[in-house]
Amino acid sequence: MVSLFKKFLAKPIKILAPATGELIHLSSVSDEMFAQKMMGDGYAVKPTEDEIYAPISGTITSVFATKHAISLTSKDGLEVLMHLGVDTVELKGAPFDIKVQEGQQVEAGDLLGTMDLQQVAEAGLSNEIMVIFTNMDKIKELTANSPTKVQHGEEVGTITLA
């Protein structure tokens, strides 16, 4: 009975912009796998500044060896993959300075690291930051704002858990 009320009274989780730049629909990113939502649904930001921030509160579950992707899990079990740029794995970590490590607790809006946008551009790659919710079975509803300019930490949508 308590869990029924808990679900009924559950507040939507605010999701934040992971960077300052332009919020875009996931279907608009230049990587087909993400655009077709093969790994899950979400949103993306074309950053104009190097800093990358946590879109939700949770625990860092992985930082890829090439630093181009970070995963985190919320206390409610929501799994988030942040993919930093398209094909940036090829850069072997060079443009990234990741400030967090596996097992670390972060709050929504905390600095996770930086991506040298100039270095990514010089390599001829896209700097789109994709925020993917990989366990969509836990999500009842995902709303994301329309494309617009955003500041890091700004609310860009909400998630209601199933």
Active site residues: 83
Specify the DSSP class assigned to residue 153: T
Write out the DSSP string of 77-129. --EEEEEESSSGGGGTTTTEEE---TT-EE-TT-EEEEE-HHHHHHTT----E
Please give the Cα distance from 124 to 127 (Å, whole number): 10
- For the beta sheet containing 111-115, the strands, ordered from the edge strand earlier in sequence to the opposite edge, are 51-53, 111-115, 96-98
Residue partners of 147: CB distance under 8 A and separation at least 6: 22, 23, 24, 25, 28
Structure tokens at 3: 């869990």
